Structure 1
Amino acid sequence: MKIGVLSDLHIDTNQKKLTGEETFSEIVSKQISQQQIDLMLIAGDISSDYLVSQQFLDEVTNKSGIPVLFVPGNHDFWSLKNGETDTKKIYRFFKNQTNSLLNKPYILNDEWAIVGNAGWYDHGYGDQTKYTQAEFNEMTLRFGTWQDKRYVHWGEENRETAQWMLDKIESDLQSVGKRKIILMTHVVTHPKFVVSLPHKIYDYFNAFLGSSSYEKLYQTYPIAYSIMGHVHYRKTLVDNQVNYICACLGGSKHWLTKDPAAEISKAIVVFQLPEK
């Protein structure tokens, strides 16, 4: 089975890079066909509105004819177009979709399962010696504000949300028995995927890139692949026999070309599970 991985498409802000009538769902579907992918995993941040993101997922599923599984990113919890302000309502919306992994592990066979949740940030990758938790809770450093402060409304502090999602991930991991696991989150779960410290900006804003508390999962569960997004770059890493994959399309300002199809082709990571 060939599994494709992609994240951080941001189809709304990257829309201006499209030419003619082609859509991002068509581009991704063509790549699935060309690369003969059997199962597609998308690790969040499709757009900045949950209904737009879901429409994209439905289109790719219909056009490609393969399963397309998804965990929301922080931007997918936004509602810039539709004006929803209850983020937990948006979480429940995604949870009820057939292509969502939220609280619904996907059993591939007797040997493999896919477990996923968005995850949230617990401030653990920020510089704890320089900033207090109260300062991280402000989500603002001088003139810069982490935009989830404006558009995401969990009704609790970030660390509480991060723990809430971690508990859901652990429950799902426990439910799949002794199967090998492909874990998919949106936030990063390994220190090598944040911006190296010290850094004048990211010694603060790293706090919102991932959760260091999630690292314990790799010591407890048979995770073979760990898929992430959020950071807008492309990187793979093997550490302690876990294959970490970050396959972000990211914003067009970071692209090496002006061609969305070429960039998506470069961003997609494909790996193959052995046949039984």
Structure 2
Amino acid sequence: MDGLTGHNRRMRIFALSDIHADYQPNMAWVHQLSRGEYVDDLLILAGDVSHKRELLDECLTALAQRFRQVLFVPGNHDLWVIGQTPAIDSLEKFEQVRHTAIQCGATMDIVRHGQLLVVPLLGWYDYSFGEPGRELLRGWTDYRACRWPTGFQMEDVAAYFEKLNVVPSADSARMRITVSHFLPRIDLIPSFVSARHRILDPVLGTTRLEKQLRQLDPSIHVYGHSHINQSVELEGVRYVNNAFGTPQETRITAKQLVCIEEAWF
């Protein structure tokens, strides 16, 4: 898909995250998307489809059939291994997810279209947003649903994924977009979020992502995870979260595709 130029066709770039296809209404929404409207367009899918391989396969296949290209960055839910047999760890699950994405017609690699460069940034939380309290340690599902190699702490997980990221030269790309599931900065949480919910801050993201995306100087960064839809500019970068969320989350999620930019090829 690299170097497609000179055809004077418009490519819209859509953002979506946290589709949580385990919920039947969410998967039904995916299947009702038009098969003709998005054939020239790029979908950025910023994680949390499902920990179940068959649902991940179904959702990514359906989206790949509707869009010219689907760029997928896995989220924490996608790496859950709870109940999976044979037993594997979440790094092995990550490789399974990568294989599934490719089989379904999606990609987890850098996307180039003419002057457009879209760079996926893998990550995990490393407590750079704060130390987890007792309530979070007891209640956060990742601690039970993910499994890491012996001796791995959260900082090791974040460092592992950080090393997998490729930060290419962006000199020739006029339009640069970066993508992560996790938040790159804690001030993306709006002021209206109550103190009760701020106990989640330590597991929302990592400052490692902000350092990496700034190397690319993108105009837009797409992220997920928080389930709080917004588009806000901070220090010259527009940060966009368009989470679909659970069926009950109707106040903070829009339940629709959002076009964040347009390119031409």
TM-score range, shorter chain: 0.7 to 0.9
Among residues 250, 258, 261, which one is paired with 1:269 in the alignment? 258
* % identical aligned pairs: 21
> Number of residues paired by the alignment?
247
Question: Contact between 1:255 and 1:263, CA under 8 Å: does it hold in 2?
Answer: yes
Among residues 100, 125, 132, which one is paired with 2:129 in the alignment? 125
In 2, the alpha carbon distance for the partners of 1:241 and 1:33 equals 35
Unaligned runs of 5+ in 2: 1-10
In 2, the alpha carbon distance for the partners of 1:263 and 1:122 equals 29
Unaligned runs of 5+ in 1: none
**Superposition RMSD in Å:** 3.0
TM-score by length of 2: 0.80
Structure 2 letter corresponding to 1:146? W
In 2, the alpha carbon distance for the partners of 1:213 and 1:161 equals 12
Moved over 6 A (4+): none
Could you say which residue in structure 2 is the equivalent of 1:228?
223
Secondary structure of the 2:58 match is: helix
TM-score by length of 1: 0.77
Secondary structure of the 1:114 match is: strand
In 2, the alpha carbon distance for the partners of 1:264 and 1:197 equals 20
Question: Contact between 1:229 and 1:247, CA under 8 Å: does it hold in 2?
Answer: yes
Shift of residue 47, structure 1, vs aligned partner: 1.7
The question of 1:77 aligning with 2:79 is answered yes
Question: Contact between 2:41 and 2:68, CA under 8 Å: does it hold in 1?
Answer: yes
Among residues 120, 123, 131, which one is paired with 1:116 in the alignment? 120
Gap change, CA 1:143 and 1:182, over 3 Å in 2: closer
Question: Contact between 1:197 and 1:203, CA under 8 Å: does it hold in 2?
Answer: no
Among residues 73, 91, 95, which one is paired with 2:94 in the alignment? 91
Question: Contact between 1:49 and 1:75, CA under 8 Å: does it hold in 2?
Answer: no
Residues 148-176 of structure 1, C-alpha deviation per residue, up to 9 Å, x if partnerless? 0111112211111112222222xx11366
Gap change, CA 1:37 and 1:193, over 3 Å in 2: farther
**Which is helix-richer, 1 or 2?**
1
Shift of residue 225, structure 1, vs aligned partner: 1.4
Secondary structure of the 2:48 match is: coil
